[in-house]
Amino acid sequence: MFTSAHILMGNSNRGEEEGCWTKGALPWRARLLRCAYRRLFGLGYIFYLPKYVLRLRRRGPWRDGFVHRLGWVPRSAGERRTEGGRLIWIHAVSVGEAAAATALIARWAERHPDRQFLLSTTTNTGRKVALERLDEAVPVVYFPADAPSFVRRALSRIQPDMLCLFESELWPTWIEECHLRGIPVCTVNGRMSPSAWKGYWKNRDFFSWNLNMLTLVIGQGEDYGARMMQLGVAAEKVRLAGSMKFDSAVVPDRADMAFAKACYRAAGFRDATIVLAASTHEGEELMLVQLVRRLQRDFPELRLVLVPRHIERVPKLLDQLLDEKQSWLLRSGLKLQREQEGPEAAAASTSSSERSSDRARKGRASIPVLIVDTTGELGRLSSVVDIVVVGKSFLAHGGQNPLEGAAAGRPVVVGPHMENFTDIVEFLLQRKAIVQVSGGQELEKTIRGLLDNPRMRQLLGQRARDAVKAGCGAMERTIDWLEEVLSAPVGR
């Protein structure tokens, strides 16, 4: 085990010690890369801002995201620390990382009540999850972009005692600026995809210099540790904890299951056999719609639930389904009402959903699919389905987290492209707690087999739940190691 541009950018000159060409033994190619990155990133980001703001506005409130990304994070976030308390800034990109980060904060605060925390995210969906799960005492901001003036502005306003970067977030300017201020920077739950590794290795002269500024590298598996050491990170800085996603996987409770049943009754899926496709990407939805249509000839009670990874894709998806003459219902259009037999139950779907389905039925009647156009409900909606299929693993590369379905005790099927979750998938495969298929044809065959064999579905689900329990422990190890860093003499 491996132990105005000027107004926005500010003054980028910090003296000769920060010059692009005064980095001692740094090779000339690495110096050139560093210079180009630091000089051009902020300028490029300014040109990108209009597009970024438009995207934020489509997804909801945008003003906080705009100013935070330029480094104007609220000073109050850094002023909340108690006398002698230490402030830890934790950064997580989106929904999955934010869920793990909130679980880490909750456990860390339980063990060390004197610690204060600040959580940043990149996406508004990640921020929404964080706000829902965290106490008001923990500020949630958007992560400032990796331009020198933005980073300096944010660090001056917050003055954290430690920065923890979740998973694949390795931002050179943040790492360097924290290092210059004596702020420890640690990676948490680290992973590195094969494609990312190629980029780091191609520019290893620069990254070897930059990544050695990290105080501690805590990764999920041996591949990550080996790659970081190949990039020049000292072996004594590397720790392998396993995946924190096991610890943060939420086991659904009775209220979660009642909510899911209410949604499915509202959709007309009462007593149906349900396949849920989680975090799907472009093209996968149509593949699954066509696959389920074929299976419905033999299994007429079969229903499909689609949960797109990016809900802003839903309008385009609806147009594609219309071309396929496929009817649909939207989760946001389901009206849930209380019934005597449970906390929540379905009464009807709203007229907007009905109109959407009617529009599709003009071409040809079909059994509707349910499209989840809301965020933060995947875990609950997975809790009572019969089969979970993980998206971004068939027609896109990288995969998505398979543990939400596994924690719910559901049989989980993934495609061939799970590169971002290699360690988790291998762990589950070793315990026969997941099924991995080579593509669409094998997926159809596998689902058919599971539909024919309820006992196998139950066995797979139980193995999956047991595997999630067995995979826990990374969070406790991570807190132990991070506390060692905080307890070390502060050289600021």
Query: Phi/psi at 408 (nearest 5 deg)?
Result: -80, -5
For residues 61 and 69, is the Cβ–Cβ distance under 8 A?
no
**Residue 34 DSSP SS3:** helix
User: 5-243+473-486 with 254-470: one CATH topology?
Assistant: yes
**Residue 239 DSSP SS3:** strand
Cα 118 vs. chain centroid, distance in angstroms?
18
Domain boundaries, the chain: 5-243+473-486, 254-470
How many other CB atoms are found less than 10 A from the CB of residue 322? 16
Helix (H) or strand (E) holding 278: strand 273-280
Beta strand residue intervals within 363-488, DSSP E: 369-371, 387-390, 412-414, 435-436
Model pLDDT, residue 19: 45
Query: Phi/psi at 276 (nearest 5 deg)?
Result: -105, 125
Model pLDDT, residue 278: 97
Cα 475 vs. chain centroid, distance in angstroms?
17
310: burial class by Cβ within 10 Å (0-12, 13-18, 19+)? middle
Give the integer Cα–Cα distance in Å for 307 and 290: 16
pLDDT digits (tens, 9 = 90+) for 481-492: 999 999 987 544
The model's pTM: 0.83
User: Domain 254-470 adopts which CATH fold?
Assistant: Rossmann fold (3.40.50)
Query: Across the 492 residues of the chain, what is the mean pLDDT of every consecutive 10-residue run?
Result: 38 43 65 86 75 67 76 86 83 93 96 95 90 92 93 96 96 96 97 92 91 96 94 95 94 95 95 97 96 97 96 94 95 71 39 43 66 92 98 92 96 96 95 97 98 98 98 97 88 46
Give the integer Cα–Cα distance in Å for 116 and 118: 7
Model pLDDT, residue 352: 39
Model pLDDT, residue 16: 34
Model pLDDT, residue 375: 85
Model pLDDT, residue 6: 35
For residues 153 and 141, is the Cβ–Cβ distance under 8 A?
no
Helix (H) or strand (E) holding 303: strand 302-308
pLDDT digits (tens, 9 = 90+) for 192-230: 988 899 999 999 989 999 999 999 999 999 999 999 999
User: Domain 5-243+473-486 adopts which CATH fold?
Assistant: Rossmann fold (3.40.50)
